[in-house]
Structure 1
Amino acid sequence: MDTGIAQARDDDTSSLRASIDLRVAFGRLRRRMREVDTELSASQVSVLARLNKGEAASASALAALEGVKPQSMAVTIAALEELGLVARTPDPSDGRRHIIALTQEGALRSSGLRAARGEWLAQTMDTELTDDERKTVIDAMAIIERLARA
């Protein structure tokens, strides 16, 4: 019976097992939430989110943040541009670069994706978890937040 959850030690409270289980569970949840919008690829959704947060404004900066080659980012940006979700404008300070920005439709789509994923997660938790399990999730999130600040 392989559930994909680590069995690092027989001790259920080991830090190693907890860290592996947490990474695996978050990875699965992140992949599942990406499935909420199947029209866009995971890389396209990620670029929209980064632009929406103001994390980058050029293709090279986006490529660096995403850990992909500039050529791959150019393909992603071109697809988003074709869908009307981003626009390129010349960088006034560097004629070789373009500024990548969300269009109004792109901003609405990015916000809509966040809302749709939030709705999916809330609805799934409502139908799949008991009241006690939801309380456990809330308690666990406080602990995970504390880990994130360590």
Structure 2
Amino acid sequence: MAETPPGMSASSVRAAHEIRIVVGRLRRRLRETYDVEGLTPTQTSVLSRLSKDGPSSASGLAAAERVRPQSMALTLGALDERGLIERRPDPDDRRRQLISVSETGQAFLEDKRRAGEEWLARSLESGFTEDERQTVIEALALLDRLNAI
């Protein structure tokens, strides 16, 4: 664990460390709970990004994902082949295409998210008491305040 910087409490440093570790483990575990049906992490990330942020160009996605445009073209080709994305001309620049999640892609993402949440709910139900679950809910409300800072 990191050394306590001047002007910071040891509890702040420990909490930051523990949150990072737990969130990372939970994130990996949630990813394991659902079968991504052969999608690479980049393909899954692009599909999720399109679902969350809305339509984008291939170059915009490449920049957001920090990959070369050629790599993004391969990623989009694989998603297109599976019917998970749609392409349409950009109304502002007909030379460009806007990529969005197709209905099939949206259903795919919703199914995977639901599977992850079901695993989490079952795990909380079987591994925690009602009081512990209430404590988790209270702690999450506190952690959500990090987004406002």
Asked if TM exceeds 0.5, the reply is yes
Distance change in 2, residues 1:58/1:16 (3 Å): same
Could you tell me which residue of structure 2 aligns to residue 106 of structure 1? 105
Please report the TM-score for the alignment, with normalisation by the length of structure 2: 0.82
- The unaligned stretches of length 5 or more in structure 1 are 1-5
Q: How well do the aligned residues superpose, as a CA RMSD in angstroms?
A: 2.1
Distance 2:54 2:10 in 1: 37
Q: How does 1:1-150 map to 2 (within 5 A)?
A: 6=1, 14-35=11-32, 36-39=34-37, 40-150=39-149
Distance change in 2, residues 1:31/1:56 (3 Å): farther
Distance 2:122 2:83 in 1: 30
Percent identity between matched residues is: 48
- The unaligned stretches of length 5 or more in structure 2 are none
Q: Which moved more, 1:66-75 or 1:120-129?
A: 66-75
Q: How many pairs were matched up?
A: 143
Please report the TM-score for the alignment, with normalisation by the length of structure 1: 0.82
Which structure carries more relative contact order (alpha carbon 8 Å, separation 6+)?
2
